[in-house]
Amino acid sequence: MDRAACAGMADKGDFRKNGDPFYPSSAAPEAAREGKRICATCPVLAECYAHSLDASSSRQYGTFGGLSEEERRTRQRLKQRAEANERRRKAKAA
Ligand code: SF4
């Protein structure tokens, strides 16, 4: 993802001082917000989000696609619940 807004940021070296915006600790909430701000400008946000859902991806953890891992899990649970409800609705209607 050469066009990624975060490309090359790991080499900047100030992550240790301010907290890594993509793997923020709970003690560095500003770092987490900074990661989301960077993602919001990213031209490959949708691809990054889709990639982060891949169970074999190293992007399961941390902030990717503009969301924290907890936010992605919540979004996936809601999507799965909506799909299950839709299947039940169709089964009842048949
Ligand atoms: S959306 Fe993904 S690729 Fe883009 S800045 Fe965020 S973490 Fe990097």
Q: Is residue 39 part of a domain?
A: yes
How many Cβ atoms sit within 10 Å of the Cβ of residue 20? 19
| Residues 17-65 pLDDT 10s | 778 899 888 877 888 899 999 999 999 999 999 988 887 777 778 899 9
Atom of ligand 1 nearest to the CA of 52: 2
Query: In whole numbers, what is the pLDDT of the chain averaged over residues?
Result: 88
Find residue 64's DSSP bridge partners.
67
pLDDT, tens digit (0-9, with 9 covering 90-100), for 52-63? 888 777 777 889
Ligand 1, pocket residues at CB < 6 Å:
1, 4-6, 22, 38-39, 42, 44-45, 48, 64-66
pLDDT value at residue 28: 79
Smallest CA separation from ligand 1 atom 7, residue: 64
CA of 91 from ligand 1 middle (Å) equals 39
What separation in Å is there between the alpha carbon of 80 and the centre of ligand 1? Answer: 24
- In total, how many domains does the chain have? 1
3 located within any domain: no
Which amino acid is present at 83? E
Q: Which domain holds residue 64?
A: 9-93
DSSP run (H or E) holding 74: helix 69-93
In a domain, 88, yes or no: yes
- Asked whether residue 27 is assigned to any structural domain, the reply reads yes
Write out pLDDT tens, residues 58-87. Answer: 777 889 999 999 999 999 999 999 999 999
